[in-house]
Structure 1
């Protein structure tokens, strides 16, 4: 699968979010002076319920369950699930704001497609993001930690984030990441 991008103006400058492209394995990136290659598709259509690459992302997410080292790094965990080394956003809250500003967020929609990033307001400045893996479950960090700072990765019910952390569900967005 190849990746394509289009530039967004953000508080961080110009950011090229990912989009899934048709065929190939090379990265397709639009730049200010060049269009993306012709074999790249437009960014993910969030009006559909099919996120390309979701099967691979869910498989990766389930392999991470039981691991550790993601204490307060939910955005990094979600990015890693989608094969990215980092999120490219300051926080899950910032990522959600960017998705809303770009028209990629589905606020309040409690039926995300498999592979979607799901977001919560936690009462603090950072928020929370997890990856929806289907059957009412998400892969999330920290939610089952027995020791503070453990940073465990867990497969949990979608609603546990709200009930255990008193978080407010915001909605879902497709996995769009900066190419930088």
Structure 2
């Protein structure tokens, strides 16, 4: 008999081969909340030259209850303006940006989206990213730690008032999500 972990691994292997997008989430029960997420993303190879449509997004973020998301995003054919390194010595294929998509845009001065400047990153580069709840705001950062753009970094702060009654102390950020889409 297969263990539950083996069944999960086999199911994921079958789905990944045929999936155009992948999404997974970890949800805490009441009384628990996410206050920080830290990860390193490795920049993949560009798709074959026959692939000319996009954008494609690779991201992990925290999703406050009621909607919205705070997320560092690696994009293929994504936003191309406002980069901290506008003329890198490599092909401009992938860019890392920090996004906040408020649930209650239009209320409390919340915009529809917030987006940081971006960082062009080359194939094989590693980018350290984080999302933290600090002093009534969500603080994101991304720093290229290896590759031709090493040393480049961006940050973005978003007031918690941009989300529906969100704070780290009242069970309002119970979900972390990772997607490729």
Query: For the superposition of Structure 1 and Structure 2, which TM-score range results when normalised by the shorter chain?
Result: under 0.3
Q: Normalised by the size of structure 2, how large is the TM-score?
A: 0.27
Could you say which structure has the larger radius of gyration? 2
Using CA pairs under 8 Å that are at least 6 residues apart, name the structure with larger relative contact order, 1 or 2: 2
Q: Normalised by the size of structure 1, how large is the TM-score?
A: 0.27
Comparing both structures, which one devotes a greater share of its residues to helix?
Answer: 1
